[in-house]
Amino acid sequence: MNGTIVRASKFMSLVLRHRPDKIGLSLDANGWARIDDLIRCSELADISLSRDLIHEVVATNDKKRFVLSDDGQRIRAAQGHSVTVDLDLPRQEPPTYLFHGTATRFVASIREKGLLHGNRHHVHLSSEEETGITVGQRHGTPVVLVIRAGAMWENGIAFFRSENGVWLTEYVAPEYIQFPDNNPTRAPIRSE
């Protein structure tokens, strides 16, 4: 990805997930912005986004962070919001095990309190262990926790899957988390 696309992608993440108000953009209840509005509001903030550039960001984004509406007129972030939006995702049964990448410095607190969603709407989980390592590295020395997602689901806890394949749930209690010390051999099974 070239620099223009990366910069546009970071800017779009900021305004479509966290700070639409920064450029006077309105998101609807489900997190959609009109592409025309995004271009116009960005221009006012001296950021140059064209329809072609937006399409290129959507198409080339490594994590498919953005989704276009069926009619091609609107765009939203697939996940990761801190602003209040209802992504209106259906509940979906997760695989038996999912992964959460974090940093070693957070482990003691997670053991005690479980996984909290913080500013975002959900705790983010992945079906791939490698993704957990990349996500954890953003915060420090990475550690991948194994989440007993199947057991949570059986106990009535809701799971959602974002349009770009990230698993979302509101909270993960400590009893559903396998930490490296008591699970040195990583996830025993991956049922998908």
Q: Which of 118, 184, 185, 192 binds ligand HQG (CB under 6 A)?
A: 118
Q: How many CB atoms lie within 10 A of CB 48?
A: 10
Q: What share of the chain is helix, strand, coil (3-state, %, to 5)?
A: 35, 20, 45
Q: Which is nearer to ligand HQG, 36 or 130 (CB)?
A: 130
AA letter at 158? A
Binding mask 65-94 for ligand HQG (x = CB under 6 A): x--------------x--------------
Judge residue 101's burial from the number of C-beta atoms within 10 Å of its C-beta, 0-12 exposed, 13-18 middle, 19 or more buried.
Answer: buried
Smallest gap from Cβ 118 to ligand HQG, in A, equals 5
CB 65 within 8 A of CB 80: yes
- Minimum Å distance from CB 133 to ligand HQG? 11
Chain residues in the site for ligand HQG (CB under 6 A): 63, 65, 80, 102-103, 106, 109-110, 113, 115-116, 118, 120, 124, 135, 139, 166
